[in-house]
Amino acid sequence: MNMKQDSFYDAIKQRRSIYSISNEQVVSDERIEEVVKFAVKHTPSAFNSQSGRVVILLGEQHEKLWDLTEKTLRNVVPADQDFAPTEQKMNGFRSGYGTILFFEDEEIVQGLQEKFPLYEDKFPLYSNHSTGMLQYVIWTALEIEGFGASLQHYQPLIDEEVKEQWGIPTQWTLHAQMPFGKPTARPSEKEFQPLDERVKIFK
């Protein structure tokens, strides 16, 4: 492997779910924007539909997201259930530097369904593939920049409040939330299933 390959594979290996994060600045906000825009531009999508949409929340806006998420969860968690573990999670996400919200533009998906009726039932699945790839690219890029991140899914509970709070177009569907920040602890060693049970080669 050459140096570029080493860097690529190392980034894939180092990308992990990091929950222990701080709001200490790692790179400039402009660099975060640059990295995210690069990922949005170059991540593949079915039929080159480019249906992925991203919102970057930093500083107070990032904290607002986890404030409203906590408030929403308090309203749905049964009163007799201990809320402390959930509150601890919210505090952990809130303590980071920012959050990236991942959306898919349903107008584009529906347009493809109308244009290619033979694949109508597949386009929502292709849309999920696209947002998954975008999430992975941005997650790995944040790792390269020195951030730790994790992927969260509090939709559809927070969808309407998120759209109202940040003026999100109605046709954008929320798929994931990615809180990120400076890692304050590394995760434990990851266990792997045997690759010969997961990969088959025929020659």
- Average pLDDT over all residues of the chain: 95
What are 56's strand-pairing partners? 100
Query: Cβ distance 72 to 161 under 8 Å?
Result: yes
Of residues 22, 17, 12, 21, the one with CA closest to residue 150: 17
Overall average pLDDT of the 59-74 stretch: 97
Question: What mean pLDDT comes out for the span 149-163?
Answer: 97
- Give the mean pLDDT of 63-68: 98
pLDDT at 149 over 80: yes
Q: Which of 25-29, 79-83, 133-137, 150-154 has the lowest mean pLDDT?
A: 79-83
Average pLDDT over residues 13-41: 97
Half-sphere exposure of 97 (CA within 13 A, CB side): 21
Confidence of residue 2 (pLDDT cuts 50, 70, 90): low
**Residue range 133-149: average pLDDT?**
97
State the pLDDT at residue 78. 86
Could you read off the pLDDT of 34-45 as tens digits, one per residue? 999 999 999 999
What does the pLDDT read at residue 124? Answer: 95
- Per-residue pLDDT, 186: 86
What is the C-alpha separation between 177 and 149, in angstroms, rounded? 10
65: left (phi over 0), alpha (psi -120 to 50) or beta: alpha
The reported pTM is 0.94
Share of the chain above pLDDT 90, in %: 90
Which pLDDT band holds residue 1 (cuts at 50, 70, 90)? very low
Q: What is the average pLDDT across 14-42?
A: 97
Q: Report whether pLDDT(113) > 90.
A: yes
pLDDT band at 5 (very low <50, low <70, confident <90, very high): low
Q: Tokens in use for 200?
A: 């088959």
